[in-house]
Amino acid sequence: MIKKIILKNFLAHAHTEIELGPGMTVLTGPNNSGKSSVVEALRCIATNPLPKHFVRHGAKVARVELEMDDGTKVAWIRKKATAWYEITRPGEQEHETYAKFGRKPPEDVMAILRLNQVLLEGDKFLDVHIGDQRKPIFLLDQPASVAAQFFASSSEASHLLAMQTELKSRVRNANRDKKFQQEKMDYIAAELNELQDLPKANLELETAHELKARSEKFLSEIPRIEDLLNRKNQLQSEKVKLTAKEKSLCGLEKGPDLFPVRGLEQTNLQLGNFRHQSSNLKSRAHSLEELAEPPQLFPVKDLELKIVRYKQLSSAVKAQSKRQKVLSLLASPPMVENLSALCATISNIVRNKIFAENISRRAQALKPLASAPELFDNSNLIQIIGSINSLKKSQEQSRCVLEKLEESRVMLESKIKKRLAEIGSCPLCGNELTADKLIGEIGHES
């Protein structure tokens, strides 16, 4: 238990010492007087947060020191970019320094402070020792599932420590397996590097197939090229003839104007273009006839959805198996009987008892009736006698019911006392459970 808090150059505190009493200690004061800084100091020494503006303005080092009831002193020292812990054991002058411990505080410090956070499902932590300002304490602002996880995981301190030890062991084994798998992957990668010539051979073979297909295509185009060359030679010979004819016709006079044939020339040009395009399309169709039809593509849309669904299910299965492994180590909570049904039964018994007592009082009130006057006739007298007999019978039945209810009430009270003695204290508030107080409150409500 913490006995004394000492703050030096921490936030608004230049040098503050707070002595804690054996019971509850209350800090009071106006706003911005440093009350929240005390709570923040406890959070810093318990969690070692990331560097913030914890050092007082003008100072270089902030110090938070806690003195425990056994005389042990734990100090958290924060500079601008570094932090370390100092532990001073009882009766020793020199302190132990912890400077290289990673993000979380050292285990020796946490064992002395006993301000550990509770590990919940999903790698989440719950702080049940230190609360934020203007927030409910403990679990009042958390859902019922979080409270159930806390009570299940914090039933025994030794069980928590065992869980932490098991977690560390698993992490260590996982790191060892990861290292082994990495070495194995490096070995496989080295073997694959030695087999790189095989993909090159496949690539060269595919290139040879492509070259063969192109050569076959070129062979099919050779007759067409020969035709084009012959046509070219013919055109060249015609060009020579036309040139000679043009030289012979240069000395002739200009002939008469011909009919305007500009539109006819354009039509002939378009017709020639159409013939050329037609021949190109025919040759292209002839070359494409030899090609095989492309294979039908597999519908990959459903396959992608199935792959995404498979990945989601795989991650869910891994998370569920991890959760099952963690929960398999937990001890089952103590079985608590349905006290609400038991209380309802007791309430019914008390109500029936009151009802029977009312019937008994009415029956006793009818006993001292005076004898009927002589003015009554026989019919009225017979009716009165019959009503008295029925009242006596109902009184006897009520007395029997009352005795049975009393026996069941005694039996239930003994059962409640026995069960409350086994439970000991309330699992929620920690107060002692007494049968007299519980039955008395139920009777009062009835």
* DSSP letter, residue 281: H
Q: At what angle do helices 435-445 and 339-366 cross, to 10 degrees?
A: 60
CB atoms within 10 A of CB 282: 10
Q: In what order do the strands lie in the sheet with 2-10?
A: 13-19, 2-10, 62-68, 73-78, 83-88, 96-98
Nearest-angstrom CA–CA distance, 53 and 11: 7
Asked if residue 443 has pLDDT above 50, the reply is no
8 A C-beta contact, residue 414 and residue 365 = no
Total residues found in the chain within this entry? 446
8 A C-beta contact, residue 7 and residue 41 = yes
* DSSP letter, residue 60: S
Q: What is the pLDDT of residues 137-193, one digit of tens each?
A: 666 667 777 666 666 665 555 556 667 777 788 888 888 889 999 998 888 888 777
Nearest-angstrom CA–CA distance, 238 and 244: 10
Asked if residue 47 has pLDDT above 80, the reply is yes
Q: What is the pLDDT of residues 202-219, one digit of tens each?
A: 778 888 888 888 888 888
The closest of 118, 130, 112, 122 to 49, measured between CA atoms, is: 130
| pLDDT (mean) for 237-258 | 80
Q: What's the pLDDT at 445? A: 39
Mean pLDDT of the chain: 77
- The β-bridge partners of 125 are 119
CB atoms within 10 A of CB 103: 8
Q: What's the pLDDT at 304? A: 80
Q: 417: buried, middle or exposed (CB in 10 Å: 19+, 13-18, 0-12)?
A: middle
DSSP, collapsed to helix, strand or coil, labels residue 262 as: helix
Q: What's the pLDDT at 442? A: 44
Q: What's the pLDDT at 259? A: 66
Q: For the chain, what percent of residues have pLDDT higher than 90?
A: 4
On the CB side of 71, CA atoms within 13 Å amount to 6
Place of tokens 């999903």: 122
Q: What's the pLDDT at 441? A: 47
Asked if residue 257 has pLDDT above 50, the reply is yes
Q: What are phi and psi of 359, to 5 degrees?
A: -65, -40
Nearest-angstrom CA–CA distance, 390 and 384: 10
Amino acid letter, 87: I
Q: 45: buried, middle or exposed (CB in 10 Å: 19+, 13-18, 0-12)?
A: buried
CA dihedral sign, ordered 411, 414, 420, 421: negative
| pLDDT (mean) for 277-296 | 79
Nearest-angstrom CA–CA distance, 158 and 327: 16
Nearest-angstrom CA–CA distance, 337 and 341: 9
The closest of 64, 162, 71, 138 to 105, measured between CA atoms, is: 64
Q: What's the pLDDT at 58? A: 86
On the CB side of 147, CA atoms within 13 Å amount to 10
Q: What's the pLDDT at 6? A: 92
Q: What's the pLDDT at 65? A: 92
8 A C-beta contact, residue 115 and residue 44 = no
8 A C-beta contact, residue 105 and residue 70 = no
| pLDDT (mean) for 66-75 | 88
Amino acid letter, 123: D
Asked if residue 436 has pLDDT above 70, the reply is no
Model pTM? 0.35
Q: What is the pLDDT of residues 328-381, one digit of tens each?
A: 776 665 555 555 666 677 777 777 778 777 777 776 766 555 554 444 445 555
